[in-house]
């Protein structure tokens, strides 16, 4: 039986084309930036897990968002408390960060004990460069989560991993937010695995 993981998406239309998937992810990314993490972050991750399962790649979704930016189209945001939603343009720096988050979600899924999320495509979800840059980072956190039952790590350990791979490390606050993204992805993947065991 084929299971489709689908949480809090506004409609099935969100997942009918790669453009719709890219827009859905970007809306959820903007929601985290504008309204904070917690449930908003889990919604972004859930949409990312769906994109992974459906065989999307980080580069394919980046291209969709860049095409939207180039066309000058505005995206309607997710409805706010007042029922009205804002429209916004897509900017390059936001695309970069959104797709980086997505790449980290995809790589985290690759670091989970199999099988958690089944991917319906043989195409790698991220490029070799992105995998090289982030696999160690995600694997350290996955090991802490699955083997040691931890939900947090010293930021310094992760900065050292970044330094070893890329020669530079991000600011502690940025590294902490990346770590939160990985731990939250592991929680979402664990809940998916528990649903089907």
Q: What is the pLDDT of residues 50-83, one digit of tens each?
A: 999 999 999 999 999 999 888 887 877 765 544 5
Q: What is the pTM of this model?
A: 0.87
Rounded Cα–Cα distance for residues 70 and 172 (Å): 33
Map out the domains of the chain as residue ranges.
12-195
Q: What is the pLDDT of residues 106-118, one digit of tens each?
A: 999 999 987 678 8
Q: What is the pLDDT of residues 157-185, one digit of tens each?
A: 999 999 999 999 999 999 999 999 999 99
Rounded Cα–Cα distance for residues 56 and 126 (Å): 9
Rounded Cα–Cα distance for residues 171 and 155 (Å): 10
Rounded Cα–Cα distance for residues 95 and 26 (Å): 8
Contact 29/43 with Cβ under 8 angstroms?
Answer: no
Rounded Cα–Cα distance for residues 136 and 143 (Å): 10
Q: What residue spans of the chain are helical by DSSP H?
A: 18-35, 39-53, 58-71, 92-110, 128-146, 155-166, 172-195
């Amino acid at each position: 039986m084929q299971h489709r993981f689908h949480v809090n998406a506004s409609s099935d239309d969100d997942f009918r084309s790669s453009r719709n998937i890219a827009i859905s992810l970007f809306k959820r990314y903007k929601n985290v930036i504008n309204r904070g993490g917690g449930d908003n972050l889990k919604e972004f991750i859930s949409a990312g897990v769906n994109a992974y399962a459906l065989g999307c790649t980080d580069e394919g979704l980046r291209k969709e968002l860049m095409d939207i930016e180039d066309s000058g189209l505005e995206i309607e945001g997710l409805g706010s408390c007042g029922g009205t939603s804002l429209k916004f343009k897509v900017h390059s720096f936001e695309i970069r960060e959104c797709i980086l988050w997505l790449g980290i979600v995809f790589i985290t899924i690759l670091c989970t004990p199999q099988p958690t999320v089944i991917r319906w495509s043989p195409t790698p979800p991220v490029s070799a460069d992105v995998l090289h840059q982030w696999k160690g980072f995600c694997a350290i956190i996955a090991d802490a989560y699955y083997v040691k039952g931890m939900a947090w790590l010293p930021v310094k350990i992760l900065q050292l991993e970044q330094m070893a791979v890329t020669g530079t490390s991000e600011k502690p606050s940025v590294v902490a937010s990346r770590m939160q993204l990985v731990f939250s992805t592991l929680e979402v993947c664990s809940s998916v695995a528990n649903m089907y065991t």
